[in-house]
Structure 1
Amino acid sequence: MPDLDTGHIFLTTLAPIKDGTCLDDGYRLSWRQKVRNALVTLPVAQQSPATVNSGLNSPFARNRRTHLARMFVLDDVVYNGREPTNAVAGALKGLATGNDAESNPALPQHTDYLNCAYLVFCADIDAVTETGIALPTTLSKADQERVRRSYAEELWTTMGEELKAIYSACVGFEKVRDAKGFADYLEACHVETTMPFHDYYIGDITGAFHRLPVKALGAAVVVPLIVTVLAFLAALFTQWSLWGINPVWIMLVAGALTGLAFWMAVRFAIRNGEKPLPPGPYDDLPSVLKALYVQQRFSDLAIDLQGAPPEDIHTRFGQWLEVNRPADRSGPTQAPGVIRSPKGAI
């Protein structure tokens, strides 16, 4: 299903950027440059010594639904070169039609381009309307829209000033006044995607995929096809009939059943492929943050207890469990947007 997989919404929006120029702090610059200036000053997550020492963090870290977020300006689509063609077939077609545009590399082919630059926003978020609740296996189109709107409203609440600075150069954003207006705006800019941004499965995921009953589907198509062929041969070379029924009628009915079975098998395969994978056991952001926290705290404990007697290890591990509560996702846990949480007392 587009946008939804493993209990996550893979959000993609394209907001058109205004053409022309504007004044920004007394300088004349394009609207595209204004967006780029806002993006380049946006703090990133604390993922390196330099970003940690800055004391700043990404504004997307102010909520606990965002696994990944990315914003960039798309000036135009990339030209991948001429579409490959068969030289011989193109030459023959040119001779037949008098149009050798396909075979003559000196003549340009049609080239796609955007009518303006776009601000692209991609985010991998928990497909929930409330932080911490269980991830869904599937959602209706309406439920997906509710998740997107809920997330957009939370973004406006937690980082509204940054969003105003970024989107103020986009077409139609001047009408946005509140969280609901921003949710409406992002929904208008939303485009479907079938490309997941992450994979949190921690074991063998082959059992999670929706396997096709290939043998059953094949039999459903092949059996009436065989009857069709046999009835055709009987009608062509013999005077055979089944219970007085002309083999031509059997051929027509079996052929129709073959076509119907093939169409239904294709539809079944497509619908089966559109089903989203179920969420992993620890795919939600609170579980991911808790796992990172427990991993670090347990490593600290193991280092501290090197060479300690068994009695001390038992006592300290009990204290560690009481303080860190591994099964409690609400805390203590790692904060979003940081690569490491501060070392605790245990």
Structure 2
Amino acid sequence: MANTFGNSYGLTTLCPLINGVHDEQTSFDKITRRRIQRLEEDAGSPFARIPNTYFARLFILNDVFFQQGNDVARDHLKSKYLVFTSNFHGELEPYLKGMWDNAEADVRSLWQYAVAFDKVQNADDFIAYIKKCQLTTTLFFNGSTDVSLKEQLKALYVKQVFSEFALAHQGQDAAALRTAFNNFMAEIKLADLDQPSWAPGQTRLQNMY
């Protein structure tokens, strides 16, 4: 089904940017591009604060691209576009509300110079705006597992710490290994998805051993 794959959703949006320049100096698309480039990455990214985000990407589309020769008539875009794509767990409207609720300042900054975004004043307006800019994501395939982000982060955490456990306890006798493993299972709290676990956007884990 378009846009969805199991419990995951593939969002693709193209938001036209205002043509012209700010204060007769810098074009609105360049200002937006610089703001994208200055976003923090990993755990500091605004998308790390948005619940159930598997993957998100922002970039500026300057024009359409052609691979044909120079003798082919070419169309050109009338505006540059802010492209936003995201793969996430769940449905579209709750995700966009979570985006507004958890990263409103970043959303306002990034979309400030998108056409008609000045009319967006709250979460409902933002949801309606993004829907107007949305393209159908056809042939969508989710490259992640079809479970919530919390479950995936917990699985990544367990995989990492179990590898460290195995390396740290090589060569131990069976009795010592069983005791260590029981302690390990108590520490990782397998049924608790909140802690200990990976944090959204986290890229490395401090050694336990």
Distance 1:195 1:343 in 2: 40
Which of residues 137, 149, 157 is equivalent to 2:101? 157
Residue number in structure 2 paired with 1:193? 137
- The runs of at least 4 consecutive aligned structure 1 residues that moved more than 4 Å come to none
Q: Is the 8 A contact 1:15 1:189 kept in 2?
A: yes
Q: What do the CA deviations read for 1:97-145 (whole angstroms, capped 9, x no partner)? A: xxxxxxxx9xx5442221211100000000x2xxxxxxxxxxxxxxxxx
CA distance in 1, matches of 2:26, 2:187: 54
How many percent identity over aligned positions?
Answer: 30
Corresponding pairs, count: 209
Equivalent residue, structure 2, for 1:5: 5
Considering Cα pairs closer than 8 Å and 6+ residues apart, tell me whether 1 or 2 has the greater RCO: 2
| Residue matched to 2:181 | 317
CA contact (8 A) 1:10 1:195 kept: no
- Cα pair distance change 1:195/1:342, threshold 3 Å: farther
Which of 118, 132, 136 matches 2:81? 118
Q: How far did 1:199 drift?
A: 2.0
Give the Cα–Cα distance (whole angstroms) in 1 for the partners of residues 64 and 180 of structure 2: 58
What is the Cα deviation at residue 298 of structure 1? 0.8
Q: Which moved more, 1:167-176 or 1:111-120?
A: 111-120
The amino acid of 1:158's aligned partner reads: N
Q: Name the aligned partner's letter for residue 187 of structure 1.
A: K
Q: 2:160 aligns with which of 296, 301, 306?
A: 296
Instruction: Give per-residue Cα distances to partners, 1:268-301, cap 9 Å, x unaligned.
Output: xxxxxxxxxxx4xxx4322221111001111121
SS for the counterpart of 1:151 is helix
- The structure whose Rg is larger is 1
Map 1:128-147 onto structure 2 (within 5 A): 128=90, 147=91
Letter in 2 for 1:67: Y
TM, length-normalised to structure 2: 0.91
State the secondary structure of the residue aligned to 2:34.
helix
Partner in structure 1 of residue 21 of structure 2? 21
Residue 73 (1) aligns with residue 60 (2):
yes
Q: Which among 159, 171, 174 is matched to residue 307 of structure 1?
A: 171
Deviation at 1:325, TM superposition (A): 2.2
Point out where structure 2 has 5 or more consecutive residues left out of the alignment: none
Name stretches of at least 5 consecutive residues in structure 1 with no aligned partner. 47-56, 83-104, 129-146, 202-278
Alpha-carbon separation, structure 2, partners of 1:195 and 1:36: 29
Q: Which residue of 2 aligns with 1:39?
A: 36
Deviation at 1:35, TM superposition (A): 0.6
Q: Summarize deviations over 1:14-55 as a string: whole Å, max 9, x none.
A: 1110000013xxx82001111111101111216xxxxxxxxx
Asked whether 1:58 is paired with 2:21, we answer no
- CA deviations on 1:57-108 (whole Å, 9 max, x unpaired) are 21101133111000000011102215xxxxxxxxxxxxxxxxxxxxxx9xx5
Q: Per-residue deviation at 1:177? A: 1.2
- SS of the equivalent of 2:135 reads coil
Map Cα deviations across residues 159-205 of structure 1 (whole Å, 9 max, x no partner): 1111111100110111111122111111111110114364236xxxx
Q: Secondary structure at the match of 1:330?
A: coil
State how 1:194-213 maps to structure 2 within 5 Å. 194-196=138-140, 198-200=142-144
Question: TM-score scaled by structure 1?
Answer: 0.57
User: Which residue in the other structure is 1:286 paired with?
Assistant: 150
> Is the CA contact (8 Å cut-off) linking 1:148 and 1:187 kept in structure 2?
no
Kept in 2, the 8 Å contact 1:124–1:197? The answer is: no
